[in-house]
Amino acid sequence: MKRNILIIAILLLVIAFSGKAQQIMNTPPRDGVVDKSERIEKKPIPYPWVRNADYVWEKRLWRVIDMREKMNQPMYFPEIPHNNWRSFMTIMMDAIKEGSLTAYDASSPTDEFILSMPYKELMQKVEKADSMQLQRSYPPYDFYDTVIVKKLNTTDIKKIRIKEDWFFDKQRSMLEVRIIGICPVIDVFNDDGTLRGEKALFWIYFPEARPILAKTEVFNRFNGAAKLTYDDFFWKRMFSSYIYKVDNQYDRKIKEYATGIDAILESERIKEDLFNFEQQLWEY
């Protein structure tokens, strides 16, 4: 009897170890020195509360972030997601598709968040459908009409626009900035391949996107072991940009009254005026 119990116990141990060994063999090798957490469980830093009575000065700016610039390239890459890294636009499109982020129509000239669009409607609007005539590859080699839809690829988006408010909080005696919205932009080309202009795709309300950005990792150029999120990237203003519009009585962009080097100088002048305003607050 004891011998049978011993045999059964040995068989159970053999089965358990074989199952564990099989599990180890099926587990992929560790890609690195230590096991990195699969997911970042982090909440965005809350904004300080500002009373309406302390909100005594405001200036609205519109900027362009060109992701082809070296400083902004962590937002554009990787083109293919891997190792928990995704490009900024891949994160935005995935969030809109799953319904955790709302896209707003960008056709309004006021850049307001008025008309929301579901993912399917958004794709129908931004994706281009062209009718073409093709020839069959088998007899009688006749021609037929077909429709080819050009899918939106996140790598085609190389610029984003941001709308932000600079304000002075009298209670804390601070000049602060809050990003209000983000709008991806794509280049539009003529049939001959020449650049025709830019097209704004949709607006995203930035405070709604912050919880998503706080859980997604952006490449840290200085220390790969220190995790940096997209929310940190915007909070610390680790991007390079230029101003293309400031609120004015004519509601016009810089390019409407200045071109070339004059437009660049006008953008720098607005930055300088904002800097001087903050400095002059503390002159006695």
pLDDT by residue (tens digit) across 170-205? 999 899 999 999 999 999 888 787 888 899 999 999
Which residues are CB-contacts of 183 (< 8 A; sequence separation ≥ 6)?
A: 106, 111, 160, 161, 162, 163, 200, 201, 202, 203, 204
Instruction: Report which of 74, 57, 21, 90 is spatially closest to residue 228, judged by C-alpha positions.
Output: 74
pLDDT confidence of 73, banded at 50, 70, 90?
A: very high
Per-residue pLDDT averaged across 243-271, rounded? 94
**Residue 267 CB coordination number (10 Å):** 21
